[in-house]
Amino acid sequence: MDSINLLLRSKEYHIQNKRKKEKNMRINSNYENLEQSYLFSTIAKKVNEYISNNPDKKVIRLGIGDVTKPLCKAVISALHKAVDEMGVQETFRGYGPEQGYDFLREAVKKYYSQRNVELDMDEIFISDGAKSDVGNILDLFDSSNKVLVPDPVYPVYVDTNIMAGREVIFADANGDNGFLPMPDKSVKADIIYICSPNNPTGAVYNKEQLRAWVEYAKENNSIILFDAAYECFVSDENLPRSIYEIEGAKECAIEFCSLSKTAGFTGTRCGYTIVPRALGALNKMWLRRQTTKFNGVPYIVQRGAEAVFTEEGQKEIKENIDYYMANAKIISETLEKCGIWHVGGKHSPYIWLKCPNNMNSWDFFDYLLKEAQIVGTPGAGFGRNGECYFRLTSFGSKENTIEAMNRFEKLFG
Ligand code: MLT
């Protein structure tokens, strides 16, 4: 009797255990392969800790590329008008088109055509910023694709692919190639990221160089994900601001852009992604993805974004861009005086410097915070090749930039 009972109980145990196992959800274990926290969250945590231990010190933040100038007048008045429309029965809007309102897509289309890039309306997708779309676009690609990422570069490209379990390989960017890696024919990649002007180094590809990437992508049947978030900082007319300025790029590239840095929309959130029809199924797939997972950018924000592309808006944002570029000059001149090697700051709001005294990036971060209360971004956070480099942003106020550089000069001058 006892042995029968034992047998039954053991069977029951096994069935229950099996059910338990079947019920257990499985987490995405790819997350285990990520750094413990996102670069800019790690920095924010360190800075907050420093501030709470040193409440009397004035910390100057030249770390994350967050703008400080307020939205321009044209944008503000468009936002106000749109807010009022939302309070009136006749002009109230509910769900909008997931791809964005026609008025904003028209404005983007016109903006591109000024640089002789002709787009169809259904190739333009309004988004809440480049960061989200750069990550979300990966829904369209199989996880078996091999991804080529420049090193150093914006960490989101690597992290989002690691989350999806894709193999990531790197194209070395360094002093020897002017931080602009070129395609290596012996390397085969399916998805290629290009960020130009580059975050963090500020390096910009010229047309010849971009053409080489387009040719490589076409030969290998790969796709280029082109991040143009900093295009508005390119002041040399001969340098490309969109990959579509290169012939044939529509057949191999998706482009992401954002109003975050262009027009101070880091907190307002609006950008656009171009998925050319020449890419075949991808255009329809992206529409399918967006209509399923995204309800569009708020009408009010899109009206504000539309104002960026008006004559008045363009003039006003140019003033802000010039202001930031003047800060870049102040930073650059100080580094020059201190004899510190640096690049960037010409066509980009970022200055990329070699850490003084052979310090590594995170040691220099701690040193600068402790000794001068300046926050920058450790180059190592952008990839292995960023080790011993450091990034400063020109998005601070002029007063803070001057003060930070005075402190810097006292330490290294
Ligand atoms: C940066 O500092 O690299 C950027 O501001 C981050 C971002 O745009 O998400």
| 58-103 pLDDT, tens digit each | 999 999 999 999 999 999 999 999 999 999 999 999 999 999 999 9
Which residue blocks in 87-186 are alpha helix, DSSP H?
102-113, 130-136, 156-163
Calculate how far, in angstroms, residue 260's C-alpha sits from the geometric centre of ligand 1: 9
Closest C-alpha to ligand 1, atom 5:
65
Distance from the CA of 229 to the center of ligand 1, in angstroms? 10
Q: Is 131 in the pocket of ligand 1 (CB under 6 A)?
A: yes
Q: How confident is the model at residue 1 (pLDDT cuts 50, 70, 90)?
A: very low
The string of pLDDT tens digits covering residues 277-289 is 999 999 999 999 9
Q: What is the mean pLDDT of the chain?
A: 95
Distance 94 CA to ligand 1 centre (A): 31
* Minimal-distance CA residue to ligand 1 atom 4: 65
For tokens 């420093």, the residue is 50
Q: Report the b/e string of 346-377 with b at 16+ CB within 10 A.
A: bbbbbbbbbbbeebebbebbebbbeebbbbbb
196, 189 contact by CB (below 8 A): no
| CA–CA dist 331, 408 (Å, integer) | 10
User: Is pLDDT larger for residue 331 or for residue 3?
Assistant: 331
* pLDDT: which is higher, 36 or 48: 48
Using CA atoms, how far apart are residues 127 and 232, in angstroms rounded to an integer? 18
pLDDT above 90 for 10: no
Residue 199 beta carbon below 6 angstroms from any ligand 1 atom: yes
In the chain, count H helices and then E strands: 13, 13
Confidence of residue 35 (pLDDT cuts 50, 70, 90): confident
294 contacts: CB under 8 Å, gap ≥ 6: 98, 127, 136
For ligand 1, atom 9: residue with the closest CA: 131
Q: Residue 321: left (phi > 0), alpha (psi -120 to 50), or beta?
A: alpha
Q: Which atom of ligand 1 is nearest to the CA of 266?
A: 8
Summarize the confidence of residues 179-190 as an average pLDDT. Answer: 97
What's the mean pLDDT in 162-189?
Answer: 97
Which pLDDT tens digit goes with each residue over 202-256? Answer: 999 999 999 999 999 999 999 999 999 999 999 999 999 999 999 999 999 999 9
**Stated pTM of the model:** 0.93
Query: What span, in angstroms and rounded, lies between the C-alpha atoms of 150 and 389?
Result: 16
The pLDDT of residue 24? 86
C-beta of 61 in contact with ligand 1 (< 6 A):
no
8 Å CB contact between 81 and 317: no
The answer on pLDDT for 171 being more than 60 is yes
The answer to whether 263 touches 379, Cβ cutoff 8 Å, is: no
Listed in sequence order, the residues at least 6 apart from 110 whose beta carbon sits closer than 8 Å to its beta carbon are 309
- Domains of the chain with CATH codes: 37-66+313-412 (3.90.1150.10), 73-310 (3.40.640.10)
Does 65 contact ligand 1 (Cβ within 6 A)? yes
